[in-house]
Amino acid sequence: MIPKKFVGNWTIDETSEWDADFLHMVETAKIEIHPDGMGRFRFGCVETEIDCEPDAWSPQEILHFSFEGGDEGTPVCGRGSVKLEGEHLLGNFAFHLGDRSAFKASKRS
């Protein structure tokens, strides 16, 4: 079970690798986390499904996830993690054999 504080729809506000124009190119950049640990993220032309689980050593503090999807029709996969800091979700994406980026997201109302 995913801790409730992580569950919801989050807007990706910024990343360490891509600017706002790229992030919101197709639609508002976002990450969704569902109570069952499934979800998705989307930014730029990237759209993936995610599978989350709490960190075994700190279940209330960090979620790890794997992802799989596409980037303009090219298959992508990788891993990431998120934690809460105040009102923000802080995390990172690591594309398999590709880009890595930190990100900051805020809860959508």
Contact 70, 76 (CB under 8 A): yes
pLDDT reported for residue 28: 96
pLDDT one-digit tens code per residue, 61-105: 899 999 999 999 999 999 999 999 999 999 999 999 999 999 999
Q: Each residue of 39-50: pLDDT tens digit?
A: 999 999 999 999
Residue 72 Rama label (left phi>0; alpha psi -120 to 50; beta): left
Paired tokens of 92: 């990172």
Structure tokens at 82: 């998120």
* pTM strictly above 0.85: yes
pLDDT, one tens digit per residue, over 22-36 is 999 999 999 999 999
Task: Note the pLDDT of residue 60.
Answer: 65
Residue-range domains of the chain with CATH: 4-107 (2.40.128.20)
